[in-house]
Structure 1
């Protein structure tokens, strides 16, 4: 079949957060907390979000601009070590087109009174539908949203 291709790419992002590993981990494991920060831009409006946080459990997030396309993130948790590590595999779609399949590893390391988050992602980007650099940029924006979530005055 012509026009088919795979681009393999990996990136690692390290971020320091002024919160305990338990609190940073909870921002990924608590459905209400994660739904607040793990989302598309505000102009996308409401989206579908589900989180079954356990090994073998799934996470599903769907949304997009009014004019489309609908973006879908669907993950399966492969490994969870409370307050230390999360490993999940996921695919990204735009409408019915699969953009990529990735493996992500999150490590939560105590750093002084806070946490160093180390996120490593290995992706297979399919048929030229997505640029790996854009994925890294989008991930950095999500980690900025996580920082804002952790800075919430109510501490939740």
Structure 2
């Protein structure tokens, strides 16, 4: 299925930015590892747990992450990310393009900053700067998806660590 633009006015770009902060009861190294480890990230980062997912993660500067998902038989949601900077327990910077089927709907730059806050706690600050393309301007939906993922991360960090 190919998505069609609905009007000539649809050829536009909306720029938007949002920032989300969370404080987790886990050390910065553990929060960072939740982004870097493919199995851990699969537990918390997907919006629709009922959808099948293909996920490849190469977490390093120059590495890529690809997530292909969507409702069975429906539109394919593709996230294609490139990691630009990773500083263990401190910072992650990546860019990603989102597609619905073959249609690119946005390109974003994301910065995740981790700061120790008290004993064994981490303040995470995530900032996304996006270019939302054509008819696909649901910035609030994107932010809500990020918030949901970070809430899922809090739940995952409550799991006991493997020895």
Q: Structure 1, unaligned stretches of length 5 or more? A: none
Q: Helix, strand or coil: the match of 2:156? A: helix
Residue 86 of structure 1: aligned partner: 92
Cα RMSD of the aligned pairs, angstroms, is: 1.3
Q: Structure 2, unaligned stretches of length 5 or more? A: 1-6
Residue 132 of structure 1: aligned partner: 139
Residue 13 of structure 1: aligned partner: 20
Residue 52 of structure 1: aligned partner: 58
Q: Does 1:39 align with 2:46?
A: yes
**Which segments of structure 1 move beyond 6 Å, counting only runs of 4 or more?**
none
Larger CA Rg, structure 1 vs 2: 2
Q: Does 1:63 align with 2:66?
A: no
Residue 3 of structure 2: aligned partner: none
Count of residues paired in the alignment? 154
Residue 108 of structure 1: aligned partner: 114
From 143, 150, 156, the counterpart of 1:149: 156
Give the superposition deviation at 1:70.
1.0
TM-score scaled by structure 2? 0.90
